[in-house]
Amino acid sequence: MTAAQFEWDDNKDAENQAKLHVSFESLGQAIGAKERQCMKKKIVYTDEPIGDVQVVADFLPSPAELAFREDGVKVTLALSKSSVDFFKSEAAKHQTQYQRMIRRLLDSYVEAQGAAASMPKRTGRKRAPI
């Protein structure tokens, strides 16, 4: 295993120390120490019999299925500031894009409404006054 190599950048190191209180040098040492700790034990292989082997059918999706992306349509939409602030805040907590969260929320709503539309409709009876 070859040692990790780092390209030194004095400006970036100064930025990191100011912002994160971490230097490139200490980060490189920490990463190297972690690698050495993980790779201490050697695996010993033997020629012992494995026992009964069972072939499992491939259940993973194909790469094409993983890469599938539904066509999107660009829209311009005015939302309230509080709604956008909420989604931006939640997106930051979950390291994702707020637009993606809004899109998934809308997709979930459409899917739920599609399921509801296929259910039998209620009768046209009026509710009793409260």
Span 48-94, pLDDT tens digits: 888 888 888 887 777 777 776 778 889 999 999 999 999 999 999 98
pLDDT at 86: 92
End-to-end Cα separation, the chain, in angstroms: 76
Higher-confidence residue of 6 and 26: namely 26
Sorted by where each begins, the domain ranges of the chain are 11-40, 77-117
Q: What is the largest CA-CA distance in the chain?
A: 80
How far is 119 from 113, CA to CA, in rounded Å? 10
Is the model's pLDDT at 5 over the cut of 70? no
Percent of the chain with pLDDT over 70: 66
CA distances for 3 relative to 13, 28, 34, 41, angstroms = 21, 11, 12, 18
C-alpha 26/C-alpha 81 separation (Å) is: 42
The CA distance from 61 to 67, in Å, is 10
Calpha distance 15→18 (Å, rounded): 5
Does the predicted TM-score (pTM) go above 0.85?
Answer: no
Whole-number pLDDT of residue 59: 77
